[in-house]
Amino acid sequence: MDQPSGRSFMQVLCEKYSPENFPYRRGPGMGVHVPATPQGSPMKDRLNLPSVLVLNSCGITCAGDENEIAAFCAHVSELDLSDNKLEDWHEVSKIVSNVPHLEFLNLSSNPLSLSVLERRCAGSFAGVRKLVLNNSKASWETVHTILQELPDLEELFLCLNDYETVSCSPVCCQSLKLLHITDNNLQDWTEIRKLGIMFPSLDTLILANNNLTTIEESEDSLARLFPNLRSINLHKSGLHCWEDIDKLNSFPKLEEVKLLGIPLLQSYTTEERRKLLIARLPSIIKLNGSIVGDGEREDSERFFIRYYMEFPEEEVPFRYHELITKYGKLEPLAVVDLRPQSSVKVEVHFQDKVEEMSIRLDQTVAELKKHLKTVVQLSTSNMLLFYLDQEAPFGPEEMKYSSRALHSYGIRDGDKIYVEPRMK
């Protein structure tokens, strides 16, 4: 049977992993394997093959000699074939069926939607535990075929495949723990719930960039759909109400949530977002990648009580009453203005006169002298100023530097400034 035109897997393998391009090396995942030489394979003894093969963006269109693949790749456990030109599942099957210990396979960005995956071909994937089909436009029919033939599949990547709906598989995949299905167009919760039906053991669900608008499901139903879900990523979804956030509490094992870039949180400050989310999600131990410690949780829950204490009763969430039971009613935090004082009232002493004045602290000593000219009837050049801190033990300090700002003296209300004429 004629081979498809283009570069073969074996051709690229021999080129990339020849001693000239891939010298002998040691380390995790890089164990060198040099099998015995079969007849007609002069390159055989010269190849240094690691157990992790990376052959992305190499223009591969077909498998090449299957006997050669079997001889070279018996030890290979991970294979990256992303961004090639594989469009026929039969060619992929020829490669994979001759890599008996393969556990990780990346077929992203190959035009595999152009062919149908038959079950006998999918059977060659049986040992794969992690499968990446990002941007392959793989149909749900193809996904179902794979699921039926991969009994040990644990992680599945289906990003950038333009899915608007989810088609349920005729059989459940009990082994799958992680589903990465970001950057599609799954806006309706009725599609997401099908994932729970297909993957009842799901531990991690990554739904970022799908514009999911709401979670339309009862609490009991959510618990049944995703009984083992521990982590969910809803970054840049379309969630816009707090009721959807509260529904996340229905997942009985949920402990990690990612919720950045959703419409609901746009009007809140960074601090408000994190504290209000932590307070509403009592079981989570990690939010947006950061650990939630006991101290932060208590601070957030107390913040939540104070945040809602002035809201009308009909707008107060149920979680508020739960936290009141836990902490009791809290007093509002005192409002402390930490901005620096802009002006103070001081006593200006000149000869036997005392006048109380308000002076700006952002002005300089020279500017203060100009301000005092009309009060003491002295020119600025003939004026000496002394500042007396009412609590200072050392007596008056001469204000001798004309460009020095008044706030640098630490002047407070009630302090005194003495004016004396310069002695000629």
Given a cut of 70, whether residue 375 has pLDDT beyond it is yes
Residue 71's pLDDT band (boundaries 50, 70, 90)?
Answer: very high
Residue 261 token pair: 């870039």
Residue 178's pLDDT band (boundaries 50, 70, 90)?
Answer: very high
Given a cut of 80, whether residue 335 has pLDDT beyond it is no
**Residues shown for the chain:** 424
Model confidence over 13-70: pLDDT tens digits? 998 887 766 654 444 444 434 444 444 444 444 466 899 999 999 999 999 999 999 9
Residue 48 token pair: 């240094």
Domains (range + CATH), the chain: 7-17+47-327 (3.80.10.10), 343-421 (3.10.20.90)
DSSP element (H, E) containing 90: helix 89-96
Cβ-based neighbours of 220, under 8 Å, separated by 6 or more = 250
Whose structure tokens read 């620096």? 340
Q: Is 67 strand, coil or helix?
A: helix
Cβ-based neighbours of 302, under 8 Å, separated by 6 or more = 323, 327, 330
The pLDDT of residue 420 is 92
Question: Residue 343: which of 266, 415, 295 has the closest Cα?
Answer: 415
Helices and strands of the chain, counted as H and E runs: 12, 18
Beta strands (DSSP E) in 116-167 are: 130-132, 155-157
The pLDDT of residue 331 is 79
Say if CB 162 and CB 137 are below 8 A apart.
yes
